[in-house]
Each structure stands twice: as structure tokens, then as C-alpha cells.
Amino acid sequence: MSEQSARKVVFVLGGVRSGKSRYAQELAGPGKRVAFVATAEACDDDMRQRIARHREDRPASWTTFEAPLALEDTLLECGNQFDTVLIDCLTVWTANVMQREASDSQRVLAHAERLANVLRSVSASVILVSNEVGSGIHPTTAMGRNYRDLLGFVNQRVAAVADEVILLVAGCPLVIKQPAEVSA
């Protein structure tokens, strides 16, 4: 997203290891002032390794913010100071919010609604990454089904305000939603 392009919200979805984070980083790359908003916390060895790999993959010139829960506030804080804000990822953020809100669906969805409102209000272009979990294995536990459903609703809310929605499959981007062409 170059500084010449108009401000927009791009939502990048995909399955695990589909290339969505790499693709989102490529979209953000051309921006001069890029903020990276990380939602993960290093709570175990696997997550520590994933976080380390993601840190190595992104340019040192980017400014990193950590927002495992306060994503809306962090976006408000940095969304008018940078050309581009890359949020990786809503999958982890939704799980974090569910834990904080004791899986109360209405409270989790209120966070998603606030995020959607903030996305409309910031001057930076925003790229968000999330997993598409609706096409995966049917969870065997009520908690797993609730998570899948809530993430699906969060993704739908963000997609509704996004200018572009791109689904990554095996590293290949499929445009799901794009701005309407303006006729002359």
C-alpha cells in the first residue's frame, strides 16, 4: 500500500499455513510508516517460536505494538500516526477476548463492533489477518464450536467494513471483495 493510494481496509483470510501473514506483509511493505500490531502472547514454547519467526520476517523499520486484548484502543492510538497498520491476527485476538469475557458471545461481539467502528475512523490504511475456520474440522467440544462461531461472526463484521477481502489458499490470493469500479 503506497502512500499515494487512498486509505483502505484490507482483510486477509486463510487457513493455517496458507501464506496470509506473508501476503499481508507484502501489502504493507511499500508504506513508509508501518505499524505492526501483534495480538499473540508468548505463553508456551510453540507460540514463542511463532512470534520469533514473525519478528524475523518483518522489516526492522516497522514499529511494533502488542495488543492481545486492547486492539481497538491500540488501533485508535496508532491509526492516525502511521501510513499503514498491519494487525496480525484476529484469530488470536478473538480467543483472548473470549477468555477475558468468559466466552460471553454478546460481549465478544461488542468488541468486534467497536473494532469495526474504529476501522472506519482512522486515517491509516489497515490490513487485518485472520483464519478462516468455517471450512475446517467440526469441533467436538462446545467451547471449540463457540470459538469457531464467534470467530466467524468477528470475521463477518470486519469483512463488512473492509474495502477488500482476500482469501489465501495454498499461497494463492483469491479476491473475495473489491471496491466497485468508478465509471467516468
Is residue 120 included in any domain, yes or no? Answer: yes
Say what the pLDDT of residue 182 is. 62
Residue type (1 letter), 43: C
Residue 112 in any domain: the answer is yes
CA distance 6 to 142: 43
Domain that holds residue 100: 9-177
What are the tens digits of pLDDT across the range 72-109? Answer: 999 999 999 999 999 999 999 999 999 999 989 999 99
CATH number at residue 142: 3.40.50.300
- Catalytic residues, which ones? 54
For residue 135, being part of any structural domain is answered with yes
Q: What confidence tens digit (pLDDT) does each residue in 1-57 have?
A: 544 458 999 999 999 889 999 999 999 987 789 999 999 888 888 888 887 887 887
> How many structural domains are present in the chain?
1
**pTM summary value:** 0.91
Does a structural domain hold residue 182?
Answer: no
Residue at 184 is within a domain: no
Question: DSSP string spanning 82-141?
Answer: SSEEEEE-HHHHHHHHHHHTTT-HHHHHHHHHHHHHHHHH-SSEEEEEEE--TTSPPPSS
Kindly state whether residue 1 falls inside one of the protein's structural domains: no
For 123-151, what is the mean pLDDT? Answer: 93
pLDDT above 90 for 183: no
